[in-house]
Chains A and B, each alone.
Chain A
Amino acid sequence: MKKSFYLFNPGRLSRKDNTLKFVPVDENVNEGQARYLPIEQVANLYVFGSLDANSALYNFLGKNGIGVHFFDYYEHYTGSFYPKEYLQAGQLHVQQSLHYSDPMKRITLAQEFINVGAFNMLKNLKYYQNRNKNTAEEILIIEELIKQINHTTKVDELMGIEGNIRQVYYSAFNKIIPTFPFNGRERQPPTDPINALISFCNMICYTACLDMLYHTQLDPTISFLHEPGVRRYSLALDVAEIFKPILVDRLIFSLVNKKHIQVKHFRNEVNACLLKESGRKIVMKAWDDKLTDTIKHRKLGRHVSYKHLIKLECYKLSKHLMSIEQYQGFKTWW
């Protein structure tokens, strides 16, 4: 099975026949031991350290449909190498644009993303309520807010409600993961460990959605909830809305509560709190395990990984756009 590979250290990546060759380079420009990765084993690459590479390498990656996601020193996602789309679908593309430009069609999809995202957030809160964390108040407020979703007519209005839901949801984090104080969401830059974790994991979730979009015929640049152009591949942000509570938040809760992630895994920069490399490695490992973790799919009648679940979500979106089946986002039932 293909896997994601993470390059944490600086070095040079090149093509060697049908393998990728990675030579780490230390601060004094000394080369380390080369490592080889057969191309068939690679699903995508995540680059955290500085990387030297030439166009021959990117041509090779492009031919094999392998995307590369880049992060800077501050762990900000800075962009992706997205191979040329290999499955063209003219009519789907036209429909996707039409669903974006028709306000009624667009808001219907946008509402579904928020509805399902909020539903999945509620599931998390209810799970912890059953484990004696007092999240009852947040649950009530969110349930009230959810009622407003279907009355919206404009996307900004919807985004406002989403912001309120998220604020209430995040305020419950102190009860779920009391080890780290968390005073609400700060994005740029994150100033406490929980914000650092959320920012980092949300970006990873976004790239996972982007990777799955590549394997379907959807155009990742045309989105419905987020304004296209917020980020280049804004449809991945839409899809991530559904999966963030299921994948990211649950991962953070478990990493912190099981003490796999602790204060020592963070570094404080001027005005920013970031994961250290040791912390990033723990998170990425846990994320990988999560994505390959399987659940029994009720319709397909077999076990599918979370990663595949994201792809199925893309199929469902395609079916909606082609008027085959109304889109219903993935709701957790456990």
Chain B
Amino acid sequence: MTITPTIVSYLHLCHRKLWLHAHHLRMESTSELVAEGKLIGETTYPQRALKWQELDLGIAKIDFFDPKSNTIHEIKKSNKKSFAHNAQVKYYLYLLHKIGIAEPTAIIEYPKLRITKTVDWDTEEDQDLVESWINQADTIIKGTCPDRLQISKCKKCSYFDFCWSGE
């Protein structure tokens, strides 16, 4: 099973979500939250094409990569789940490091909040960390579907109706 950056971010959100996603149980993409997320990505920086390139890593695509400074740019809607964003970005850096890009850096931007955050890559420490995530994710995927979170934590999840439809 390929561990994608999405999976790594789900590892930090909900193990069940990770499992469902990895087993190709997906929800319709018609949710407004998703649409809004897309729109921010599509319209916020239309003029950046010059500096930023798209970079295809096979298991993931980075929309904004600056090859001069080895920086990636990640745009998020809200910083509520910032630890999951952090993890996802660390994983990007790990993948970049693996293909030989020196000292990659990431900037996470929350345009709605006017906040930016820089995430650096610390070769030794981060390598172990990311690899432990990959192992954890792998174990979860191979197991049975994990339990649900507390319902109060699920309210905004696209799997809400799936998980909580019972009887």
**Residues on A close to B: CB < 8 A?**
87-92, 215, 217, 297-301, 308, 311-313, 315-316, 318-319, 322-325, 328, 330-331
Contact = CB atoms under 8 A, between A and B. Distances in A.
A300 B28 CA distance: 18
A298 B151 CA distance: 13
Given A299-B167, A324-B145, A315 B24 contact: no
B26 A89 contact: yes
A87 B161 contact: no
A92 B20 CA distance: 11
B26 A87 contact: yes
Contacts of A328: 166-167
B24 A323 contact: no
B165 A312 contact: yes
A319 B147 CA distance: 13
Which 4 pairs from chain A and chain B are nearest by CB?
A: A312-B165, A324-B145, A89-B24, A299-B166
Given A300-B161, A312-B161, A323-B145, A330 B167 contact: yes
B162 to A, nearest CB: 5
B23 interface: yes
B165 to A, nearest CB: 4
Contacts of B23: 89, 91-92, 322
Given A90-B24, A315-B165, 4 more contacts: A89-B24, A92-B24, A299-B164, A301-B151
Contacts of A316: 165-166
Nearest to B24: A89
B25 interface: yes
Nearest to A311: B161
B144 interface: yes
B26 A217 contact: yes
A88 B167 CA distance: 25
B120 to A, nearest CB: 38
Given A87-B26, A217-B26, A298 B167 contact: yes
A318 B166 contact: no
Given A323-B144, A323-B145, A324-B145, A318 B25 contact: yes
Contacts of B24: 88-92, 217
Contacts of A215: 28
Contacts of B151: 301
Contacts of B166: 299, 316, 325, 328
A318 B160 CA distance: 14
A267 B140 CA distance: 61
Contacts of B25: 89, 92, 217, 318, 322
A215 B162 CA distance: 12
B43 to A, nearest CB: 20
B26 A331 contact: no
Interface in B89-137: none
B165 A299 contact: yes
Interface string B141-167: 000110000010000000011101111
Most chain A C-beta atoms within 10 Å of own C-beta, residue among B26, B144, B164, B167: B167
